[in-house]
Amino acid sequence: MFEIPISLIRQHLFCPRIPYFILLGFGNPDKPVWVRQGGEIHKESASLFLRRSLSKFGLEKADKKFYVKVFSKKYGLIGEIDMVLNDGEFIYPVEFKTHGHKPEKSHILQLVAYGLCLEEETGLKFQIGFIAYRDENKVHRIEANEEHRTKVIRIAEEIKNNIERRIHPDTPATANQCVQCEWVNFCNDRL
């Protein structure tokens, strides 16, 4: 089964060629791509933040698990979630960030991808997730709507199709994006 690390959704939104290069083994990443990215916070820090902020989730009685690995057979997605809350009826993915104050579209879609995996694995309902910012001590409640779900599924399909076709994907990336991109040496039609 073809497995797409959920962290690649953000990369795909930046440029569809990046997941293509990573999954086909161009370059040589030091660590598996599903390992958490910079900017996320470690468990001790998350626990501290959580003690101060749990009421902000409105789920004081929910069961909590940290760093939960998930997999969706249906969509071919794989990943690791910072925290999962479970109240017996609903399942809630939570992502911690050190910086920032407002979730970007890519963060929301990644959160929804985690939720889809949890829903499939646990059989519980997924409707809401959270993105928490430690520096600002803020928790954003994200409602996963149909549009989010459809987008995540479409992106997973696009990544899969790009790999299967083995052709450099078309890209909407601008010259400004390419200048700051570490994969530019693999894109001889750019710059």
Q: Which stretch binds ligand SF4 (CB under 6 A): 73-81, 139-147, 148-156, 177-185?
A: 177-185
Torsion angle of the four alpha carbons 118, 122, 128, 131, in this order, in degrees rounded to the nearest 10? -40
The angle, 0 to 180 degrees and rounded to 10, between the axes of the packed helices 146-165 and 7-14 is: 80
Q: Which of residues 1-60 bind ligand SF4 (CB under 6 A)?
A: 15, 17-18
| CB 121, CB 100: distance < 8 Å | no
Q: Which stretch binds ligand SF4 (CB under 6 A): 51-59, 71-79, 124-132, 173-181?
A: 173-181
Minimum distance of ligand SF4 from residue 97's CB (angstroms): 23
Tokens of 58: 């409105």
Question: Of the two residues 37 and 137, which places its CB atom closer to ligand SF4 in the complex?
Answer: 37
Q: Does 181 bind ligand SF4 (CB under 6 A)?
A: yes
Minimum distance of ligand SF4 from residue 181's CB (angstroms): 3
Please list, residue by residue across 111-138, b when 16 or more beta carbons sit within 10 angstroms of its beta carbon and e when fewer do.
bbbbbbbbbbeeeeebebbbbbbbeeee
Torsion angle of the four alpha carbons 81, 61, 128, 72, in this order, in degrees rounded to the nearest 10? 40
Question: Of the two residues 66 and 186, which places its CB atom closer to ligand SF4 in the complex?
Answer: 186
What residues make contact with ligand SF4 under the rule CB under 6 A? 15, 17-18, 171, 173, 177-178, 181, 183-184, 187, 190
